[in-house]
């Protein structure tokens, strides 16, 4: 979601900010500051994917599939059809169009249907809490819950968050996030999502959705799709950047977790800001109509990101179902839909069945999660625009002064869960004896501002848009207000004093003289103790710029010159423990091997219980069991990918070519032969584990069959009167300023539109109006969401024995990887994991299933999944590079001896076409037909 761009540089102190170059307030990088080019040195790849080229386009795909109530959506569709059948044209439009920015109490609101006592829907951030609300929790970020590798905690976090949103009167929680997935480590919003691995992200998003929706609110999985950087996602002077990629990469990497989200039943999906193969994400007919609604069988509704809609009729035909916040520009009073959608149905440029499908999908999501039984009094019982008890319900228009905040405490006992999640997501990266602390240390010292509280308070920076004090949340719309924030400084101090020890600190990041003196005291004979250095690296959404970081990080260094603080302390203290709160990987090569660094801990983005959670780890109350959900490289260039920081197409849309294909994060390291400092899936414990007894059992499955058959014809619900007089504003109707209504100003459609180009000769894609029965895609399903049902057939069951060979109880995360074989595939890909708690000396059995999908590649020629003839091997171990157990897989053993003919290896993506334009898919936007 985007809000008005804010430059915090003029307002916030920068004395010890990230850049060591003198800075001046403004939006540009200061002269002389090193800054990456379009492609960072060593980030180019010799195996660049041919299907990811500048100016390529995605094929048009029409019509927009209508929902059918597949799978367990049947009952919800029946209820939705009964409801929508009662609606007038304008009431249907009210469901699809937001009422405007700051129009009502939530960040997004639809129009109400008073005649049926149906209240306006409330859409509210964020993926880690109830944004802007008071007396609500601040949960660990997605990247931190991913590092638990714990399905039960994925679900619990979703349920806890969903229950708080429900109790605040929210209908749709704007989360979880699997876009960005984390293609480049500098991505400013990577922390909102889970991991650059699609399998881990897919499991995390599915369990989160189940938890949220079982609590009685709708999940909105975002941002669909390829929204991998903040730079140029929504520029004011040029078109938004285009993420260009090939079909295989789309399916095997970026679409993978969205498929899991759809299979889990996400009620809605939010389309993204940037372009996809040079078509805006919220009107890209290929990604919305073909991939999401047809191939994946998505039954819910597509919601635009805030002001990500760029056309009216075109976006509707391309698959958009709901526009947020409804107005074209914030508080502009204009809308692509609203009255214009009413007009479009009346003049035939949008067929009634398409509007009916929008309404059905929205209401099906509503009934699917049983919203009608999960209402609360005075909903929404908070305002996103003020925390005063009384205020304006129509905030921008300053109308309807009333009670807008009831200050309802929705936190329940969630603080306990948050502390558990944050501790279990903490990753021990190095330990040569520094941890756990005993509590008997005579002198414990803490260094760095990341240990302490923001001097302006935990919520002192709007949307957490600064880096003052301990980092427990990134910045942007993915935030929530802290109800409190337990800092590491206060928690460690309390722990030390409870044990009768002594405690001192230096939290000024530039007080090197004082830090050196204090660190020197710790190592003096007769004293002993520990030096704990806290450091961070921040980032967030691009509407906030902090220290010249436009959401995305400019580099992978620790902020506040923390490397210097670490060096200062380690020169004096031979028991230095480094704790990092970061939104992603940072470069640690300057000090991680220093023998005086006895432990390194990544504490992630932990939320409100930060200090308690890290203290639990440091003092051994919780044995660390987290595993890093991304790779820590020795240099920025090690990753093989980077962001597009500078325009590369003049006044045209910047072209961001995903030429690395599926090779991101550990896959890229494996292919290029780079040795990571800490590999994907790595994490230590205070105990040790041994792996043995790998068993692989083939399961009997039927040969894979493409889906066939056709849908029903597009249905309509109710009738639409052609009397324009039926849709004008009612007599004596009071119009709220800038509010978006579905009504016409007059019986003249042209005059009501207010569009100077109204009735201009413009040809929309003919297929967009075809309401006849449509064929299912071969990779899709006619019965359930998520793609061809046979993709989820279990082909192998794998087990291994895990033994705790140490002296304390601990958690281990066994991980299953598969080599798919062939030069076009990564060395290994994650395909299973579990988190096991094992007593000392005891054993536990790790079991995991391998599905057909896990073994398949996307074949662009057949447009389906295939298992290639290349040899397949399964590996089990404790990280992506520690895989002691392995066994080859006999695919033919799964077919009852049927031994089907081996499928060909996936074909290479075809190069993008440079043919002539064949259709006009959006207002002023030309698309060409081309292969992905």
Kindly state the DSSP code that residue 280 receives in the 8-state scheme.
Answer: B
Radius of gyration for the alpha carbons in the chain, expressed in angstroms and rounded: 27
Query: At which residue do the structure tokens 């399903």 appear?
Result: 781
Rounded CA-CA distance 281/176 in Å is: 18
Beta-bridge partners for 846: 800
Kindly state the DSSP code that residue 97 receives in the 8-state scheme.
Answer: B
Rounded CA-CA distance 367/618 in Å is: 46
Query: Which among 428, 813, 888 is positioned nearest to 618, based on CA atoms?
Result: 428
Enumerate residues 6+ apart whose C-beta is below 8 A from 929: 57, 59, 60, 913, 915, 918, 919
Q: Is the backbone of residue 398 left (phi > 0), alpha (psi -120 to 50) or beta?
A: left
Strands 843-851 and 122-124, by their bridges, are unpaired
SS3 of residue 697 by DSSP: strand
Edge-to-edge order in the sheet of strand 689-698: 689-698, 794-804, 843-851
Enumerate residues 6+ apart whose C-beta is below 8 A from 133: 124, 168, 382, 384, 480, 481
> Cα angle at 504 between 439 and 563, to 5 degrees?
100
Rounded CA-CA distance 487/145 in Å is: 19
CB atoms within 10 A of CB 462: 14
CA-based torsion, 669, 671, 672, 673: positive or negative: positive
Catalytic residue among 260, 305, 356, 811: 305
Q: Token pair for residue 344?
A: 């479009």
Query: Which among 362, 522, 538 is positioned nearest to 434, based on CA atoms?
Result: 522
246 noted as active-site residue: no
Rounded CA-CA distance 89/744 in Å is: 12
Query: Which among 740, 736, 2, 6 is positioned nearest to 396, based on CA atoms?
Result: 736
- DSSP-H helix ranges across 377-487: 414-424
- Cβ 67 vs Cβ 79: under 8 Å: no
CA-based torsion, 459, 460, 464, 467: positive or negative: negative
Please give the full DSSP string across 149-180, using - where no structure is assigned.
T-HHHHHHHHHHHHHHHHHTT-SEE---B-SS
| Active-site amino acid positions | 305
């Amino acid at each position: 979601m985007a809000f008005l761009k804010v430059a915090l540089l003029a307002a916030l102190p920068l004395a010890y900010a990230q850049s060591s170059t003198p800075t001046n307030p403004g939006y540009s990088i200061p002269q002389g500051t090193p800054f990456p080019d379009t492609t960072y040195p060593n980030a180019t790849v010799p195996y660049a994917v041919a299907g990811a080229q500048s100016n390529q386009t995605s094929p048009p795909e029409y019509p927009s599939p209508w929902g059918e109530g597949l799978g367990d959506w049947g009952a919800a569709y029946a209820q939705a059809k009964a409801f929508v059948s009662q609606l007038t044209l304008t009431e249907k439009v009210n469901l699809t169009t937001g009422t405007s920015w700051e129009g009502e109490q939530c960040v997004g609101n639809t129009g109400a249907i008073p005649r049926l006592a149906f209240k306006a829907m409330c859409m509210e951030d964020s993926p880690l809490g109830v944004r802007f609300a008071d007396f609500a929790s601040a949960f660990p970020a997605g990247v931190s819950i991913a590092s638990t590798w714990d399905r039960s905690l994925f679900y619990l976090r979703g349920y806890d968050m969903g229950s708080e949103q429900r109790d605040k009167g929210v209908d749709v929680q704007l989360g979880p996030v699997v876009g960005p997935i984390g293609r480049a480590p500098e991505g400013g919003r990577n922390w909102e999502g889970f991991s650059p691995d699609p399998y881990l992200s897919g499991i995390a998003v599915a369990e989160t959705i189940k938890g949220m929706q079982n609590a009685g609110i709708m999940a909105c999985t975002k941002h669909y799709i390829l929204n991998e950087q903040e730079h140029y996602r929504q520029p004011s002077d040029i078109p938004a950047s285009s993420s260009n990629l090939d079909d295989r990469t789309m399916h095997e990497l970026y679409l993978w977790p969205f498929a899991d989200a759809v299979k889990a039943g996400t009620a809605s999906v939010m389309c993204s800001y940037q372009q996809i193969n040079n078509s805006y994400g919220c009107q890209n007919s290929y990604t919305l109509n073909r991939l999401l609604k047809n191939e994946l069988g998505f039954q819910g509704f597509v919601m635009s990101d805030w002001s990500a809609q760029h056309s009216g009729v075109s976006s509707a035909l391309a698959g958009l179902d709901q526009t947020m916040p409804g107005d074209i520009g914030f508080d502009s009073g204009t809308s692509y839909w609203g009255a214009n959608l009413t007009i479009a149905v009346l003049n035939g440029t949008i067929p009634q069945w398409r509007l009916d499908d929008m309404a059905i999908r929205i209401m099906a999501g509503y009934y699917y999660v049983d919203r009608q039984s999960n209402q609360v009094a005075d909903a929404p019982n908070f305002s996103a625009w003020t925390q005063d008890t009384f205020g304006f319900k129509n905030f921008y228009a300053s109308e309807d002064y009333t009670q807008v905040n009831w200050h309802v405490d929705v936190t329940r006992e969630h603080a306990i869960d948050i502390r558990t999640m944050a501790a279990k997501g903490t990753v021990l990266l190095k330990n040569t004896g520094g941890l756990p602390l005993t509590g008997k240390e005579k002198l414990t010292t803490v260094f760095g501002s990341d240990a302490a509280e923001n001097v302006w308070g935990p919520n002192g920076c709007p949307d957490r848009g600064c880096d003052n004090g301990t980092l427990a949340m990134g910045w942007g719309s993915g935030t929530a207000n802290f109800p409190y924030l337990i800092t590491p400084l206060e928690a460690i101090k309390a722990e030390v004093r409870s044990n009768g020890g002594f405690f001192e600190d230096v939290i000024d990041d530039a007080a090197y003289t004082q830090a050196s003196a204090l660190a020197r005291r710790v190592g003096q004979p007769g004293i002993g103790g520990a030096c704990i250095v806290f450091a961070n690296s921040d980032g967030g959404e691009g509407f906030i710029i902090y220290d010249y970081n436009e959401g995305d990080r400019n580099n992978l260094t620790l902020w506040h010159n923390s490397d210097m603080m670490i060096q200062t302390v380690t020169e004096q203290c031979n028991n230095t423990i480094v704790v990092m709160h970061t939104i992603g990987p940072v470069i640690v090569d300057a000090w991680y091997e220093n023998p005086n660094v006895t432990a390194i801990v990544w504490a992630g983005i932990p939320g409100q219980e930060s200090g308690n959670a890290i203290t639990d780890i440091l003092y051994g109350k919780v044995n660390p069991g987290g595993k890093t959900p991304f790779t820590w490289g020795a240099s920025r260039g090690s990753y093989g990918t980077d962001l597009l920081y500078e325009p590369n197409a003049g006044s045209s849309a910047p072209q961001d070519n995903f030429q690395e294909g599926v090779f991101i994060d550990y896959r890229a390291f494996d292919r290029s032969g780079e040795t990571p400092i800490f590999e994907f899936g790595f994490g230590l414990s205070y105990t040790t584990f041994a792996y043995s007894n790998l068993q692989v059992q083939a399961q009997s499955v039927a040969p894979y069959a493409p889906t066939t058959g056709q849908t029903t014809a597009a249905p309509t619900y109710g009738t639409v009167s052609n009397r324009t007089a039926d849709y004008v504003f009612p007599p004596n109707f009071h119009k709220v300023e800038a509010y978006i209504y579905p009504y016409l100003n007059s019986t003249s459609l042209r005059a009501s539109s207010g569009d100077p180009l109204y009735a201009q000769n413009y040809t929309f894609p003919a297929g967009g109006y075809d309401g006849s029965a449509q064929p299912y895609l071969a990779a899709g399903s006619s019965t359930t969401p998520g793609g061809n049902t046979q993709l989820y057939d279990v082909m192998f069951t794998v087990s291994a024995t895990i033994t705790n060979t140490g002296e304390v109880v601990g958690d281990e995360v066994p991980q299953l990887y598969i080599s798919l074989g062939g030069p076009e595939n990564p060395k290994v890909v994650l395909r299973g994991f579990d988190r096991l708690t094992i007593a000392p000396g005891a054993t536990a059995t790790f079991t995991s299933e391998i599905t057909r999908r896990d073994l398949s590649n996307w074949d662009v020629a057949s447009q389906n999944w295939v298992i290639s003839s290349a040899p397949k091997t399964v590996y089990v171990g404790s990280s992506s590079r520690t895989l002691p157990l392995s066994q080859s897989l006999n695919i033919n053993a799964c077919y009852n001896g049927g031994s089907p003919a081996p499928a060909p290896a996936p074909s290479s993506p075809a190069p993008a076409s440079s043919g002539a334009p064949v259709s006009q898919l959006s207002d002023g936007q030309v698309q060409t037909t081309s292969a992905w």
